[in-house]
Amino acid sequence: MKLPDSRPGLVLGSNSPMLHCVPDTWLHLDSGIRSPEVNMAVDEALLEASAALGSPILRTYGWTLSAATFGYFQHHAEIEALTPLRPLIRRPTGGGLVSHDADWTYSVVIPPGHARYRVSAETSYRLQHEWLRSAFAAVGVPTELAPCCDSRGPGQCFIGAEKHDLLHRGFKIAGAAQRRNRLGLLIQGSVQPKGLEVSRTVWEAALREVCRDVDWQPLVAAPSLEERIRVLVAGKYGSEVYNRRR
């Protein structure tokens, strides 16, 4: 996809501790459509492998069936009462309930030692949604970051809004959850595209196109990564015991 030369870049202001799209090498993994438990396992496996891979990763993916994910610290019994979607899968990140019946999902993995890894959680969240805002602007969809909080629907990601969530015409269309540990930083994001006059394929291409100075390289999953994914599915994300652990 070729975007017009006038498309905005990710210039976040002189007070920003870093720009998102500084000259860098990133890996891109298009996972295609996978099952809910595999999707969560892939993200955790990539987080575990991030230091060895050495470069940030953008993963884009879809779902074989409707499902819902919920934050690592949430209570399964409370989530059951909030949505009819099944299965319910506990994410490796925090945040609230997210319905995956029509959304566009992506994840970002940052290795330890990278500049993005060192910023605060709030700054990381803002940087992520500035990137999404730039991509939407490039394809003609105006969006803005939420200036503060809307506390409707506690525990449900897309009812109400948190600071720096992405809004379109006053309604939240994108949110994310994060997990940072010694292995790296994992961001899991969801876009609710209802009412957006752009296709997923075009928007995903824009995510990479707006980062003009990034050298995008394909990530080819090694056999060891695929085996780790299988282990995580069997022992965690495909297990009712794990998903109901609290």
Alpha-helical regions (H) of 94-222: 121-138, 200-209
- For residue 113, what are its two tokens? 């030692």
The two beta strands, 171-181 and 98-100, are unpaired
Catalytic residue among 148, 149, 157, 211: 157
Q: How many CA atoms lie within 13 A of 200 on its CB side?
A: 15
Give SS3 for 23.
Answer: coil
Q: Hey, which residues does 69 pair with through a beta bridge?
A: 89, 98
211 in active site: no
> What are the phi and psi torsion angles at 181 (to 5°)?
-145, -170
Report the catalytic residues.
Answer: 157
